[in-house]
Amino acid sequence: MPNVNQSQSKIPSLGVGTFRLKDDEAYNSVTMALEVGFRHIDTAQIYGNEEAVGRAIKDAIANNLVAREDLYVTTKVWNDKLNKASFVDSVKESLEKLQLSYVDLLLIHWPSPENGESMEEYLGELLRVKELGLTKEVGISNFTVAQIEEAVSILGEGVISTNQVEVHPYLTNEKVRAACEKHGITVTGYMPFAVGKVLKDETIIAIADKHGVSTAEVVVAWELAHGLVTIPSSTKRKNLETNFKALELTLGADDIAKIDALDCGDRQANPDFSPAWD
């Protein structure tokens, strides 16, 4: 029996996000990311870029840049598809756009079904997609502590690979992280740079100067030091290279404590259908 305090997920700790990237911008970002060395690509139905991401992946495979089995691709089901009528077909449509026979991870994007469907209904569909072989792993996103508990009670321990939530130095989200740890669920932190805000923070600049690295490397290394997966995005090769270099940076306990202390609850992603945050 797996240790519930140890995630069994195969999700690579550093990935590249594609939120807000469209068309050629998404294609070029993913292509450059794969050239830099990233093997974990994160997209979603609502991003409107699955087709561009899929083309980039297909071309990278065709050009022998990467093999499919070495990639980890995540997509997410949107709020209007969280029902028996639409869920599976929406995933099949995502796979067509991505030109893949399966994704490595499929997430419920928000616990906010448009028509008020129960969690039992949409998590049941999530499990059905896994049973159909359309995804290797399943997970959740933007779930609160209470919703994590409800999801685990429905699916059981060891089924949910990750909860993808906003985590950065200004929003450390510790209650949710603790709830995930309790159930052996990996936390994937999105928006690690808080839309660039934390890259200008004086504390982080001082730590970056001490190590002779960029502030982006410090922030990514901080997330990784906490055992988080993180998915920064960029349209610039130089920034993608910098983000990837963070894998080589080890921060001291004092550095980590100073960054932890920056938490001020500055949430960036808070649409009107958000749950009641912890």
What order of strands is seen across the sheet that includes strand 103-108? 16-17, 40-42, 72-77, 103-108, 135-141, 160-166, 186-190, 229-230
Give catalytic status of residue 170 as yes or no. no
Q: Which residues pair with 139 in a beta bridge?
A: 107
**Contact yes or no for 73/237 (Cβ under 8 A):** no
What the block records as the tokens of 100 is: 């893949």
Which of 47, 72, 170, 190 does the annotation list as catalytic? 47
Does the annotation place 109 within a ligand binding site? yes
Distance of CA 131 to the CA centre of its chain: 22
Q: Round to whole Å and give the CA distance between 136 and 228.
A: 20
Cα 38-231-138 angle, rounded to 5 deg: 95
Phi, psi of 123, rounded to the nearest 5 degrees: -75, -30
Q: Round to whole Å and give the CA distance between 225 and 177.
A: 14
Catalytic residue list: 47
State the binding site.
Answer: 109
State the binding site for substrate.
Answer: 109
